């Protein structure tokens, strides 16, 4: 079993993100400082298990996590920003009524 990392500070880094067709630097301090964040990582976007099991389970538990003090839920993967954005769009399309 993995070691519990609850309460540990996330290192200060800058993430290169793509937002509305523009490159935007997002600092880890802006994402995590002063917040309780559930951070999870996946092996890869569009992989069958991540798309059908891992990500949906965090979506199902979002209300429970928030009710227990989690401010943000952040998903991280090895994919580049273009793949992650396409995956997010695909997931929203599949779960929207």
Contact 35, 48 (CB under 8 A): no
Contact 73, 38 (CB under 8 A): yes
User: What pairs with residue 41 in β-bridges?
Assistant: 76
Q: What are phi and psi of 7, to 5 degrees?
A: 85, -10
- Annotation says 75 is catalytic: no
**Of 31, 37, 38, 50, which residue is the catalytic one?**
50
Helix (H) or strand (E) holding 58: helix 55-67
**Other CB atoms within 10 A of residue 52 CB:** 10
Residues marked as catalytic: 50
């Amino acid at each position: 079993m993995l070691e519990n990392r609850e309460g540990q500070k996330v290192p200060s880094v800058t993430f290169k993100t793509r937002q509305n067709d523009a490159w935007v630097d997002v600092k880890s301090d802006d994402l995590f400082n002063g917040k309780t964040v559930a951070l999870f990582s996946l092996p890869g976007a569009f992989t069958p298990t991540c798309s059908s099991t891992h990500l949906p389970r965090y979506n199902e538990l979002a209300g429970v996590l928030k009710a227990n003090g989690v401010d943000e839920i952040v998903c991280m993967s090895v994919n580049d920003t273009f793949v992650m954005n396409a995956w997010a769009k695909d997931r929203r399309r599949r779960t929207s009524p």
